Amino acid sequence: MHELGIIVHVIRTVEEVGEENHLTEVRSVTCEIGEVSGVVPEYLTDCWQYARRKSELLKDSELKIEILPGVTVCEDCGKTYSTVKYAKQCPYCESYATHLVQGNGFSIKEIEGA
């Protein structure tokens, strides 16, 4: 389960940002997760519930998750389409000359603190 490692990294990053900005508490952390990133949101939430309690700054915080859709572009026809629905083959021209342009990343989007 790599989600625990991700959460440990997120918490360390948020604590550093909190220290730099003199925060006394973090109310929420919003993360963007790509639809095809391999990160399981439910596992991430479970790990957050465990790990946040070990941080004074984050102990009462909420993890918010936004899913970014997987989008693939076809190099032959130039159209984009849903990666999850159609995978590697373009639904417009049936080409396999495609590549993922969005949806495999992970980032901290927002930290709400006081």
Q: Which two tokens stand for residue 1?
A: 């389960």
Dihedral through CA 92, CA 93, CA 96, CA 99, nearest 10? -50
Binding residue per annotation — 77? yes
Binding residue per annotation — 31? no
* Mean pLDDT for all residues in the chain: 96
Binding residue per annotation — 47? no
As a whole-number percent, the residues of the chain with pLDDT over 70 amount to: 99
Q: Has residue 1 got a pLDDT over 60? A: no
Q: For the domain made up of 3-69+103-113, give the CATH fold.
A: hypothetical protein PF0899 fold (3.30.2320)
Binding residue per annotation — 93? yes
State how far the Cα of 45 lies from the Cα of 40, in Å rounded to an integer: 9
pLDDT in tens, 52-97: 999 999 999 999 999 999 999 999 999 999 999 999 999 999 999 9
Binding residue per annotation — 9? no
